Amino acid sequence: MISWIIVIVFILIMIILSKLGHFRKKTFILIVIFLILFFYSTLLIINSKNKLDFSTSEGFMNSMKIYGGWLANGFGNLKTIAGNAIKMDWTSVNGTFVEKNKNNSIKLSNKPVVKK
């Protein structure tokens, strides 16, 4: 519970600071807020799955190795997804996915209807 209070106080401080600065500072502050919330929430997820130990230096180093491995695996998955998206055929087809029957009723099709 106290961790959520810390997060809320941190967000409120950053919002107040963003009201005082220029656009470039506001953008930087929003990026910092996003990164801190991302790392905090992902660390909570990893902690709940692996019961990380931050009380000793050895436990802290082991926890950082687990977290770093998790982050590296996540970025590897993003790289694979982006690579597969690039390999897809994104060319347009001269047609629609809607067919009109003889009586002008509309029928949806799984394949594009190519007009000749």
Whose tokens are 């000793």? That residue is 56
Positive/negative CA dihedral, 63, 67, 69, 70: positive
In terms of Cβ atoms closer than 10 Å to its own Cβ (0-12, 13-18, 19+), residue 43 is middle
pLDDT(114) > 60:
no
pTM value > 0.75? no
The percentage of residues in the chain with a pLDDT greater than 90, rounded to a whole number, is 8
- pLDDT tens per residue, range 61-83: 888 888 889 889 988 999 999 98
What number is the average pLDDT over the span 20-30? Answer: 70
